[in-house]
Structure formats: C-alpha cells, structure tokens
Amino acid sequence: MTQVSQFPGRPLLPGRPLLEVSQLVKRYDAGKPALDGISFSIRKGEFVSVIGPSGAGKSTLLRCINRMIEATSGEVSFEGASVGLLDRKSLKRLRSKIGMIFQHYNLVERLTVIENVLHGRLGAKSTLAGAAGHYSREEKRQATEVIATLGLSDHLYQRCDRLSGGQKQRVGIARALLQDPRMILCDEPIASLDPNASRNIMEQLKRFSQEMDIALIVNLHQVNVACKYSDRILGVNAGRLVFDGRPEELTPEKISEIYGADSRSLTAELGEQYAS
Ligand SMILES: Nc1ncnc2c1ncn2[C@@H]1O[C@H](COP(=O)(O)OP(=O)(O)OP(=O)(O)O)[C@@H](O)[C@H]1O
C-alpha cells in the first residue's frame, strides 16, 4: 500500500525515508555551532542511537527535528514534508506523529498515571478541548490498554510523584505511544535510572519499535547499550556526524573518533560486552 503524507508536501513514496535531515546547522551564539552540517535519514521502524561526548550536540539535534529548537540552516523533512516550512497548525499535527521521551520524564507529577498518559492525545485535539481535559471513552480505553502493556495497571490512578524513576519513564513511554507516533525521539531515556530499570526501558523501547514499526532516535551515553539495542548508531563530535553505521562497525578507532580523549574506558566497556 502506498502511504500518503498527511502533511503538505510530497507524497510518501514506498521505500522513502521517514525522516531526512540535511546539512543541519544550529548556532546558539557567535561561537562554534552546536550542530555543524549534519545529514542523515531514518527509515520506518529503525532503531537508531545517537552517541557522543557531553556537549557534542545530541540534545540539540533531537530538538531541531521537531522544532522545539529552531535550526539556523539546513532542512528536516518528515514524511516528505519540510518541517521548517510548516505553519503552527501543521507543526502541531507533525508533533502528534513524533513522540518525545525525556531524561527527567516531563510528567505532571501531581496528576495520576492515566491523566499523564492521556496528555499524549493533546496534539490531536483543539486547544480548547485539550485545556478542558475532555477525553473520549475510546481514548480512556486506549490509555488503560497501553498502561497495561507497560505493566502499570496497578498504578492507573496513582499520582506520578509516588512512582519510581523506572515507572515514571514507563508512563512517559505510554504517553508517547498514545499519540500513535511514527517516530519517538528519546533524549537520554535511561540516564537517571539504575541498571535494572534501564534494561527494562530499553527492552520496552525495542519491543515497540519492532511490533509497531515506530522509528526511534535515542540519545545515549552508554556505548554498550547503544550497541546492544540499535539497528544503527550515529556518532556525533563537536556538532559533526563522524560515524553512521551498524553496531558491529563501531570499532575502537571509530569510538576514539567520536569520543576523542575520553574513549579508552568506553572501548574497554565495549570489549567486555562483546566478550560476554
Ligand atoms: N540554550 C543554549 N544556549 C547556548 N548554548 C547552548 C544551549 N544549549 C546547548 N548549548 C551548547 O550547545 C552545545 C551542544 O549542547 P547539547 O546539549 O546539544 O549537547 P549534548 O551532546 O546533548 O550534551 P549532553 O550529553 O551533556 O547532554 C554545547 O556546547 C552546549 O553548551
């Protein structure tokens, strides 16, 4: 079946990338650019991790994709539509197709799990209906179902400030899934979690990517985690894309190129993973 873009622009041809990023530049100030001409494309259902040292530009890259940050130049195209050209209404529709998951969860802590998850539908509603908190019976059914899928049924009406970090992140994933997204941007989703919770979150993300054909772009600090779960890895250094390949292509030399002087412990970590 030929998919058709719901956004203004070109029709989505079979095999066409879901996302195309071309020569993206972001300058915050007069100094060195945070993004310095980054280009890549992502296909439907692809699981892509972005790695690189602190300050490399990973968060900026993710936020330029859905225009939470306006790029200085370059082009982002999603389902064939040029994101930079979208008016406010079209941008809202675009964002409803691109979920986002954050390191610090971005939940409304005083609200319950189901209330937070229902916020995933806000992008599909008028501002008025969203502000009034009107959700249909079907939306509530879907929210309950997705919460169950993430193993949180017992916490449906619990306030989010009573949850553990791992549970909060699962609420964040459920909220993103309720959007029925084509892609989810994950900005360091496991940076605040212990190893068990981290594994659980990465496994959930991988599962949804595979089962629902959702493309994922995941910013990560852990090279071994990126290698374990990703179809593809992007390595960023000083705002430039210095690696774009499969996990098995990420050699110690490539890691040095991405991380520079910080790379020795990472290479050792990676070696341990392959040895185990
Ligand atoms: N709002 C801002 N104003 C000015 N400079 C900024 C702003 N946000 C980020 N920067 C700079 O842009 C560069 C890239 O930052 P960014 O947060 O995207 O990197 P990162 O790879 O996500 O880092 P980390 O892994 O530490 O989160 C850094 O030099 C940072 O200091």
Evaluate whether 250 touches 270 at the Cβ level (below 8 Å): yes
Query: Is the Cβ atom of 51 under 6 angstroms away from ligand 1?
Result: no
Query: DSSP per residue over 246-263, as a string?
Result: -GGG--HHHHHHHHGGGH
Instruction: Calculate what percentage of the chain has a pLDDT beyond 70.
Output: 86
Chain centroid to CA 192: how far?
16
Closest atom of ligand 1 to CA, residue 69: 1
Averaged pLDDT of the chain: 89
Q: In whole angstroms, what is the distance from residue 273 CA to residue 224 CA? A: 7
The position carrying tokens 């991380």 is 259
The residue-averaged pLDDT of 32-52 equals: 97
Confidence class for position 260, pLDDT limits 50, 70, 90 = confident
Whether 9 shows a pLDDT value over 50: the answer reads no
pTM score, two decimals?
0.89
Whether 6 shows a pLDDT value over 60: the answer reads no
Cα of 258 from ligand 1 centre, angstroms: 16
The Cβ-side half-sphere exposure at 174, using a 13 Å CA radius, reads 32
Query: Is the Cβ atom of 204 under 6 angstroms away from ligand 1?
Result: no
Task: Determine the pLDDT at residue 129.
Answer: 67
Evaluate whether 149 touches 181 at the Cβ level (below 8 Å): no
Q: In whole angstroms, what is the distance from residue 263 CA to residue 276 CA? A: 20
Whether 67 shows a pLDDT value over 90: the answer reads yes
Whether 14 shows a pLDDT value over 60: the answer reads no
Query: Is the Cβ atom of 60 under 6 angstroms away from ligand 1?
Result: yes
Task: Determine the pLDDT at residue 124.
Answer: 79
DSSP 245: E
Q: In whole angstroms, what is the distance from residue 189 CA to residue 172 CA? A: 9
Query: Is the Cβ atom of 54 under 6 angstroms away from ligand 1?
Result: yes
